[in-house]
């Protein structure tokens, strides 16, 4: 789903994506049309502009989240740090500023769909299913569910994927660029904000006090690591 009031951009993206093998493409030029199409067709991934004629992409993003957990990539000319952080805070998974190379967008989409493929294509074989128990929280990858103190907690797609990667590699320190490459599938230079915002979203879900984490720790100068709860 492409949501942008500049038709030249949606036409350019559609031409590129079709050449890259994508077939089920939809374009909306305002927020109302986008919601109508999403309710009718759904989406595996959403490309979202900020400046739309009837409301901003920042206002639209939470409404999209009510309809789908599909990754949302902001594509916009608004490039300030505040805009980027607002995009992530409202439910976005990635933020790309205009002008952009449409082939890069295609590569980002493919990387995200690869990482979501197992969850989208049906249940894993019994011997492949994993349940990661960290004491206070449990990530059940077979069910695609995060449980905190026994209660299910909503987890956007890329927050879930980052937490899943860390759960698979407990106690190992990863730099921001390593996490971005492993989870988002792209080189991490210049994408510190993406990782930092998603780390914060994980802490808001799994930590008793996100400001004083005891699970997802910052290793100063090196990166982050996920630790299991120390039991008495």
114-130 average pLDDT score: 52
pLDDT above 90 covers what percent of the chain? 44
- Give the domain CATH number at 29: 3.40.50.2300
Residue pLDDT, tens place only, 151-197: 999 888 889 989 999 998 989 899 888 888 888 876 555 467 888 99
**Residue at 148 is within a domain:** yes
3-state secondary structure the chain: CEECCCHHHHHHHHHHHHHCCCCCCCEECCHHHHHHHHHHHCCCCEEECCECCCCEHHHHHHHHHHHCCCCEEEEECCCCHHHHHHHHHCCCCEEEECCCCHHHHHHHHHHHHHHHHHHHCCCCCHHHCCEEECCCEEEECCCCEEEECCEEECCCHHHHHHHHHHHHCCCCCECHHHHHHHHHCCCCCCCHHHHHHHHHHHHHHHCCCCCCCCCEEEECCCEEEECCCCCC
Q: Are residues 75 and 164 in the same domain?
A: no
Task: Record the pTM.
Answer: 0.59
Residue 89: inside a domain: yes
68 and 174 both lie in a single domain: no
Give the pLDDT confidence of 197-227 residue by residue, as tens digits.
999 999 999 999 999 999 999 999 889 999 9
Residue 154 belongs to domain spanning: 126-226
pLDDT at 127: 46
Residues 101 and 178 in one domain: no
- pLDDT surpasses 80 at 90: yes
């Amino acid at each position: 789903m492409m949501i942008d009031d500049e038709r030249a951009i949606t036409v350019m993206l559609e031409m590129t994506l079709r050449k890259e093998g994508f077939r089920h493409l939809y374009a909306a030029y305002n927020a109302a049309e986008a919601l109508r199409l999403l309710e009718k067709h759904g989406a595996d991934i959403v490309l979202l502009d900020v400046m739309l004629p009837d409301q901003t992409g920042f206002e639209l993003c939470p409404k999209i989240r009510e309809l789908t957990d599909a990754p949302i990539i902001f594509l916009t000319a608004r490039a300030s740090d505040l805009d980027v952080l607002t995009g992530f805070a409202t439910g976005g998974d990635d933020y790309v500023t205009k002008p952009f190379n449409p082939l890069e967008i295609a590569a980002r989409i493919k990387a995200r769909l690869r990482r979501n493929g197992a969850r989208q294509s049906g249940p894993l074989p019994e011997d492949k299913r994993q349940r990661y128990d960290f004491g206070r929280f449990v990530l059940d990858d077979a069910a695609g569910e995060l449980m905190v103190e026994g209660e299910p907690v909503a987890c956007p797609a890329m927050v879930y994927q980052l937490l899943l990667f860390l759960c698979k590699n407990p106690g190992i320190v990863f730099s921001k660029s390593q996490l971005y490459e492993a989870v988002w599938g792209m080189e991490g230079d210049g994408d510190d904000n993406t990782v930092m915002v998603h780390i914060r979203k994980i802490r808001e879900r799994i930590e008793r006090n996100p400001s004083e984490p005891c699970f997802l720790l910052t290793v100063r100068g090196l990166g982050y690591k996920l630790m299991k709860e120390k039991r008495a």
